Structure 1
């Protein structure tokens, strides 16, 4: 509903028309005027009280005092009307002592609250300038009121009081922090002007029409402010102060006008020339000052624009126009000071692929589109930021679990829609989202980050809410990652060896090298299934793998020198995909073989299928290794999706059947069928085969009958240290019971 259709504003207008009509009908009877005042006072009290309920701080104080002041006026006007109708004070337009007293107290209260209302800018010079401008209005208004007020000393005193009230009002308006909107201030200012004009009219006859106009205008102010409070973004008067105000110049003009009008009729020409000259000089000085003000204002505007640009550069991301990391941290700290909040971290999956394949311009366009979709998915007035690269954050102050989960779901849905980039084919954006709750900034950021990486671990394109158990697991991972950096220097790694056995003869033809990590008495032995993924993710697998490779070859060389049975033995080393992608890996292997004096075929490099999927660099490295004569085995064969394709595209020389097929080969038909098929494929492609995880003689016999020549598992030996391996498999000595 607009102000033009507001029913109360229309009612005030009709009330004024009705009052004028009654005054005309009853020939200006004062009882009509005073009878129509209390309803207007009541409307003003109600409107002011409603506004103060929606305001805070000094603004609420102003409207609360105004409501109290109008309540005093309501009592005074009601008493005045009763006295007129009962004949207690005679039929007169002049206010009685009760009404005058209540009105004076009300005016005093409003004047005081306007004087103490704080300004937006509290700097000393600005405060001094504001007081000087207000004092100019006070002096000018007082002079004009004294010169033109009619009715003797009482009327002049009332005029001076009006001047003081005007001074307080001007000070409040010039503060740049007025407690009301400009639209609400206009009718209230007009009411004051009408009342002041009435002071210059003899208090008889049609002077009664002055409050008829002023009272409805005064009531319009609270009503307009009440309406704006409900629907305006900035309903009150806080705004940037202008570099100068016309109010002091208007006061100066009014004083000069009063001077000219009050000059005696017989004033000499010399006096007139002096007066008019003074007016002209002051007018020229004022004009010059206004020109300077305009120049200064233009300069200040330019400085403010520069300040705005610098602030935007400091607080917002130049590409997406979202808040940057610094702004986000400041806003997060401010929000948490008021209470707990929810944090949603969003990380784009495989964004680097877009940059690498489509160009950085396409990547930038994608980030801009992602920012726009985040704004759509996040509730209005919630904080969205780009933390850097392809990572975004959403701050949800006071959000519940359901609300935060819903935001995460909407973000996934928005980003799942294809995005057309730079006139190229559309791409589908996937993201991993972490959600966390808390009131401590460091803990909240850490927990959201933990949840986000947990989402990546779950396959990406999903969201995860932080839980304490999740935090414990991730913190252990982080602790192990930190300890891994020192493990090599601290000599915490060791190697064990599991024999690879010929299924027909039961003799060992080689051994697979396995890594073990003793992280100290406070942590203990960490299983490879836990620390190997951490090493691969952090890149530490490269130096660790380099140490394993060289140590294993040195051990094999040592065995060959000490044990004739090791003359034809081969050593297997597991290599991660990260190592194969490392530049110069094949050269490192070549140098290690040269340093240990071993031929290429004595080394078996075992790689998993997942390490080779869609990795041209890794496959190229395998070809370089084959040129060195190194044996290449595809480890854990049968567990990935592209096994058959890999054995055709990679220069593999052998396959190692995964233990998941071996453990049920004697009891289930499907694992047995897969094991037989793998053996047949290997035979057709002239590849050697090793069955992993053999634990029973029955399994070994079934696999041998299928064509498998080699096997390894607990049936033959657990992984053991080098000395134990040599004792059992290279010297022919009886195997210790602990190794069986």
Structure 2
């Protein structure tokens, strides 16, 4: 901008004017040169404004059209004045006055009709109050100086117009939020009128029109007016458009005009005015200044408060959209980011869940867990692209939104996440190895954000089911399976109230004499549409959803009620035991032991006639479950370790759990007569039971050969199809009356 040829030409013209004003003889020659130099500046204003009209936004074009028209009027008028002085005819004055008036009017109208960009009624009222203050102050100043000298009416009138226009232009530039010019371009034009007005008001030698210095000062406003459009044109062509300004709570401009009005007021007071008038005037000025000062202090306090409120608002917005611990996006912010991006079908979502994070919290404390989450968040940021969104949804669950990505990119980023998370982490002087299960789901057209996140969640749980520490891509087959499971969950919820469950019982016999000594209660679901649903299908679902607690409560009460009836009606079965399977979730349920005690009391079943059967995995390294088993044993209830031999810590459990019975898993019985290793395991279990004074039961006996071998290995009791399939309660009574066992068909 500094080397712009047009701006340099304007500066050169000013320098040329200074040289001519000094070199030429006084009088008409200097005045003629003055008007001649005015013409190129006026032309530059007209041409510059017209060029801006062509390249500015549509809303600014009318403004620049009128400024260009004003420049054209000034050009013709000043040229006529130049011709008049050159020919000594002095006939150009009237034409110049008319055209000058037209040009100034065009400028004023351009400022008046330009939209203020104010939206609310309050902002408009404030703007016009400030503008009116400035205009009144400028008008008073102009009026007073315009009529101080009868000999200089024309110059004074010109000054009055310039002061008013200057004041109003300053108001527009300072107050409207979206002006047609940048401030760097507008202030030279505003300063031009101010310079002209001040030059007119200066006393003595400064009013000598034949003085070279005065002529240079009076030529300077024409250059400043032409400079503004040129600077604005350079800014527009450089792509630097005028940005919308944030309106300040208050403006100092009206206070400046009030001060100017007081100065003019004192200047206009008669020299011999009474002391009372001077005292009253001074009092008015002082009080006004004090009130204005007090108002400015209040404005400053309000601005400080507004600034603090703004900072708090920014902080609250950050807190509302950001996770406080990891500084990632939170769940709400993540869903907002997904909206719109997902519906186009051009996005991918990753759901990340840390594996075994609870162990970190339990063993090292929550502070260590929080430190690990911060490290994980940093590694997730490193794994993704610049525009991807990483969020912490809660706990140890994170999510990543990949705009414009498909399943392939999602898989690649999931692998990078797995690689970064596998790097050891130093937490609280311990080395921690992290793993995560990641679900990847690519959006399809029309997907809802919640639906896509649900797909990623399904894939993530599939990754956990496959052994953790891996990533899985969502497929429609997974969705169909989960949908079917969701339907099963809903139907399970209604099954108890609809009396769709029933119990069947499988006898447990003493192998030495085939005498019935107990039964195992087994749950069956008679679904009205599905028919008989296998426990393998619904028991795992019930355990995952927690519905096993309500179902188990019904099983316990029903089995105890039935066993109490058998014992009451058949005195010979006083030592008969009913086995009830209990899941680990039930053992950890608060009040489970009290529930067992209540059922025994209500049904009248002796505690020794109830056997609670639990699997090894249900009580493995679980203090809550162990405490429940100890409390049950204190009630007198028998405890059986079911499916014994299938878990890795079976031997350790025998030393920690108060069990009374070991039940050998059927997998060791099915080939016991042909596979030597199965026979060896069965032998070892029998010997351990005998050494620990525990009862031993072999499950899954289907042939007489299996029974005989197990009896020879030391097993006391057995159950299986050789003796009976699971049967309704009434069949158990029939079996008591038979002389020998036969396999139920």
Same fold flag (TM > 0.5): yes
**What TM-score results when the alignment is normalised by the length of structure 2?**
0.71
- For the pair 1:498 / 2:506, whether they are aligned, the reply is yes
Q: Does the Cα contact within 8 Å between 2:10 and 2:41 map onto a contact in 1?
A: yes
Deviations 1:35-89 (A, max 9, x none): 766886588568x75xxxxxxxxxxxxx54236644776799799999999xx99
Larger mean Cα displacement after TM superposition, 429-438 or 95-104? 95-104
Q: Structure 2: how far apart are the matches of 1:695 and 1:101?
A: 117
Displacement of 1:496 in angstroms is 1.3
Name the counterpart of 1:248: 254
**Which protein has the larger Cα radius of gyration, Structure 1 or Structure 2?**
2
Q: Structure 2: how far apart are the matches of 1:189 and 1:666?
A: 106
| 1:132 counterpart (113, 129, 133) | 129
Please give the residue correspondences for 1:411-450 in structure 2 after superposition, counting only pairs within 5 Å.
423=428, 425=430, 427=432, 444-445=449-450, 448=453
Name the counterpart of 2:624: 617
Name the counterpart of 1:16: 7
Q: Pick closer, same or farther for the CA change 1:582–1:201 going to 2, 3 Å.
A: closer
- For the pair 1:685 / 2:692, whether they are aligned, the reply is no
Q: Structure 2: how far apart are the matches of 1:246 and 1:524?
A: 85
Please give the residue correspondences for 1:350-361 in structure 2 after superposition, counting only pairs within 5 Å.
353-359=359-365
Please give the residue correspondences for 1:71-220 in structure 2 after superposition, counting only pairs within 5 Å.
108=109, 111-115=112-116, 117-119=117-119, 122=120, 124=122, 127-144=124-141, 147=145, 151=155, 157=161, 160-172=164-176, 177-178=177-178, 184-198=182-196, 206=216, 207-220=218-231
Name the counterpart of 1:3: none
Displacement of 1:247 in angstroms is 0.4
Q: Pick closer, same or farther for the CA change 1:158–1:713 going to 2, 3 Å.
A: farther
Q: Pick closer, same or farther for the CA change 1:291–1:684 going to 2, 3 Å.
A: same
Displacement of 1:246 in angstroms is 0.9
Unaligned runs of 5+ in 1: 1-8, 50-62
Deviations 1:541-576 (A, max 9, x none): 334324323432333343455568856654322111
Please give the residue correspondences for 1:653-692 in structure 2 after superposition, counting only pairs within 5 Å.
653-659=660-666, 672=675, 674-686=677-689, 690=697, 692=699
Q: Pick closer, same or farther for the CA change 1:479–1:413 going to 2, 3 Å.
A: same
SS in 2 for 1:495: strand
Q: Pick closer, same or farther for the CA change 1:205–1:586 going to 2, 3 Å.
A: closer
Q: Structure 2: how far apart are the matches of 1:555 and 1:683?
A: 31
Q: Structure 2: how far apart are the matches of 1:439 and 1:304?
A: 45
Q: Structure 2: how far apart are the matches of 1:439 and 1:286?
A: 69
**What TM-score results when the alignment is normalised by the length of structure 1?**
0.71
Please give the residue correspondences for 1:582-597 in structure 2 after superposition, counting only pairs within 5 Å.
582=589, 585-586=592-593, 589=596
Deviations 1:416-451 (A, max 9, x none): 666666x45355666666677889999644763574
Q: Structure 2: how far apart are the matches of 1:514 and 1:152?
A: 113
Deviations 1:254-296 (A, max 9, x none): 33444556x49xx432079847863663254223332243145
Deviations 1:344-403 (A, max 9, x none): 766666665555544555556666666677777777788777666666677788887677
Displacement of 1:685 in angstroms is 1.2
Displacement of 1:610 in angstroms is 1.5
Name the counterpart of 1:60: none
SS in 2 for 1:241: coil
Displacement of 1:139 in angstroms is 2.3
| 1:635 counterpart (642, 649, 655) | 642
Please give the residue correspondences for 1:383-532 in structure 2 after superposition, counting only pairs within 5 Å.
423=428, 425=430, 427=432, 444-445=449-450, 448=453, 451-452=456-457, 455-456=460-461, 458-459=463-464, 470=478, 473-474=481-482, 477-478=485-486, 480-481=488-489, 484-485=492-493, 487-500=495-508, 510-518=518-526, 521=528, 525-532=532-539
Name the counterpart of 1:52: none
Q: Does the Cα contact within 8 Å between 1:574 and 1:607 map onto a contact in 2?
A: yes
Q: Pick closer, same or farther for the CA change 1:598–1:97 going to 2, 3 Å.
A: same
- For the pair 1:288 / 2:288, whether they are aligned, the reply is no
Q: Structure 2: how far apart are the matches of 1:403 and 1:222?
A: 47
Q: Structure 2: how far apart are the matches of 1:587 and 1:134?
A: 83
Q: Does the Cα contact within 8 Å between 2:196 and 2:221 map onto a contact in 1?
A: yes
Displacement of 1:534 in angstroms is 3.9
Q: Structure 2: how far apart are the matches of 1:414 and 1:180?
A: 54
Deviations 1:157-190 (A, max 9, x none): 5664554444433431xxxx44699xx5244334
Q: Structure 2: how far apart are the matches of 1:516 and 1:544?
A: 11
Q: Does the Cα contact within 8 Å between 2:60 and 2:180 map onto a contact in 1?
A: no
Displacement of 1:577 in angstroms is 1.5
Q: Pick closer, same or farther for the CA change 1:160–1:285 going to 2, 3 Å.
A: closer
Unaligned runs of 5+ in 2: 21-32, 87-91, 147-152, 201-208
Q: Structure 2: how far apart are the matches of 1:394 and 1:375?
A: 9
Name the counterpart of 1:66: 60
Name the counterpart of 1:607: 614
Q: Structure 1: how far apart are the matches of 2:352 and 2:162?
A: 67
Q: Structure 2: how far apart are the matches of 1:251 and 1:732?
A: 121
Q: Structure 2: how far apart are the matches of 1:291 and 1:167?
A: 23
State the aligned residue count. 690
